[in-house]
């Protein structure tokens, strides 16, 4: 049985569980459940603290897990980033009160508060900067006002938390993070491939929609130029006329522009439908 670690709390937990459900895996109903066996798919899920996922995968006691890239790096664990999962996006940034620092070099000799000490130490070391890293469990933004640090290094999503604390981002991003599937060095290759295929199937289905339309023969090439498709669109002749029915996958974000363009070249009965899962 493939053993998979899933975050039990925090921002990554709900979207991770949702992704696994959509990929056809059984998920827990009771948030107190720590282990769940999915007999049908031959997978065992372990619900662990997001920070600990990489530790277990790195130790090889579970084969794979869902975590954030920032958490993986900060864990120092010997696990492999295997697949980007398209949620939990954030950047990891330095911030301070206005005028205190404008680049990483300005951190020299200062105190940096963070919940990600290894990630920050590695970044500072890479820039030849020596600083005192103050490890905090959370609410890092308050550390400057409360006098335990001069600079913070933290996860930034909207920036609202930093602004509310009177801090400004400075320097280049330390890291761009998102939720990722990680695997153990010696994870079973075939089982990981099945898991990856299932997850990719959902991620692709989220990015694309299916468009169907009818188009007269003399406009078929113009319509296909608008919707070239993943490989090639499916074209079926309509009974008793020179019209064709076309079915094609298009990127969800471009869906409305594409429908407008199709209409403009003479396509009619243009329908868009959701995809549940895809193998391409
Ligand atoms: N707005 C956000 N706030 C915090 N973490 C975020 C946010 N957006 C994405 N993430 C990602 O979520 C992961 C942090 O997981 P964690 O479980 O610590 O979440 P949390 O929401 O901070 O929970 P906690 O209540 O334990 O602080 C990191 O990979 C981080 O990059
Ligand atoms: O840029 P924003 O959209 O404001 O989001 C970023 C904030 O969210 C997280 O905090 P969280 O709520 O997880 O609390 P914590 O600091 O205690 O982990 C993170 O540590 C930042 O403080
Ligand atoms: Mg947090």
Residues 108, 44 within the same domain: no
Q: Is 200 inside a domain boundary?
A: no
Residues 68, 128 within the same domain: no
Strand partners, 216: 243
Residue 262 Cα to ligand 1 middle (Å): 42
Q: Kindly give the pairing relationship between strand 90-96 and strand 43-48.
A: unpaired
Residues 56, 100 within the same domain: no
Q: Average pLDDT in the 125-134 region?
A: 98
71 ligand 1 Cβ < 6 A:
yes
Q: Who has greater pLDDT, 43 or 233?
A: 43
Q: Residue 145: its pLDDT value, please?
A: 97
Nearest CA to ligand 1 atom 23: 10
The total of structural domains in the chain comes to 3
Residue 170 has pLDDT above 90, yes or no: yes
Residue 139 Cα to ligand 3 middle (Å): 8
For residue 68, the ligand closest to its alpha carbon is: 1
280 pLDDT band (50/70/90 cuts)? confident
Residues 25, 83 within the same domain: yes
For residue 157, the ligand 2 atom closest to its alpha carbon is: 1
180 pLDDT band (50/70/90 cuts)? very high
Q: Residue 172: its pLDDT value, please?
A: 96
Q: Average pLDDT in the 125-133 region?
A: 98
Residues 183, 47 within the same domain: yes
Q: Residue 215: its pLDDT value, please?
A: 98
229 pLDDT band (50/70/90 cuts)? confident
Q: Average pLDDT in the 244-273 region?
A: 97
Distance of CA 48 to the CA centre of its chain: 18
Q: Average pLDDT in the 159-172 region?
A: 97
Alpha-carbon radius of gyration of the chain = 24
Residues 57, 182 within the same domain: yes
CATH of the domain at 253: 3.30.70.120
Angle between helices 189-207 and 13-22 (to 10 degrees): 100
Q: Residue 77: its pLDDT value, please?
A: 98
Owning domain of residue 220: 206-274
Mean pLDDT of the chain: 97
Residues 231, 265 within the same domain: yes
Residue 156 Cα to ligand 3 middle (Å): 10
Nearest CA to ligand 1 atom 28: 68
11 ligand 1 Cβ < 6 A:
yes
231 pLDDT band (50/70/90 cuts)? confident
């Amino acid at each position: 049985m493939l053993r998979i670690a899933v975050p039990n709390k925090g921002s990554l937990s709900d979207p991770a569980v949702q992704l696994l459900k959509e990929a056809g895996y059984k998920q827990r109903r009771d948030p107190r459940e720590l282990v769940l066996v999915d007999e049908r798919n031959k997978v065992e899920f372990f619900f662990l603290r997001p920070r600990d996922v990489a530790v277990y995968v790195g130790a090889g006691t579970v084969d794979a897990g869902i975590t954030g890239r920032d958490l993986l790096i900060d864990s120092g664990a010997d696990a492999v980033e295997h697949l980007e999962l398209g949620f939990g996006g954030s950047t990891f940034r330095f911030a301070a009160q206005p005028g205190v620092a404008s680049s990483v070099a300005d951190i020299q000799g200062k105190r940096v508060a963070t919940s990600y000490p290894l990630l920050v130490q590695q970044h500072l070391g890479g820039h030849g900067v020596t600083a005192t890293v103050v490890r905090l469990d959370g609410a890092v933004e308050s550390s400057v006002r409360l006098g335990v640090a001069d600079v913070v290094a933290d996860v930034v999503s909207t920036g609202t938390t930093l602004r509310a604390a009177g801090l400004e981002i400075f320097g280049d991003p330390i890291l761009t993070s998102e939720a990722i599937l990680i695997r153990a060095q010696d994870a079973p290759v075939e089982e990981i491939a099945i898991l990856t295929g299932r997850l990719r199937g959902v991620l692709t289905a989220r990015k694309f929609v299916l468009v169907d339309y009818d188009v007269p023969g003399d406009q078929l090439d113009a319509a296909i130029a608008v919707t070239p498709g993943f490989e090639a669109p499916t074209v079926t002749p309509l009974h008793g006329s020179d019209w064709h029915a076309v079915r094609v996958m298009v990127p969800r974000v471009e869906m409305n522009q594409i429908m407008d363009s199709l209409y403009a070249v003479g396509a009619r009965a243009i329908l868009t439908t959701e995809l549940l899962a895809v193998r391409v």
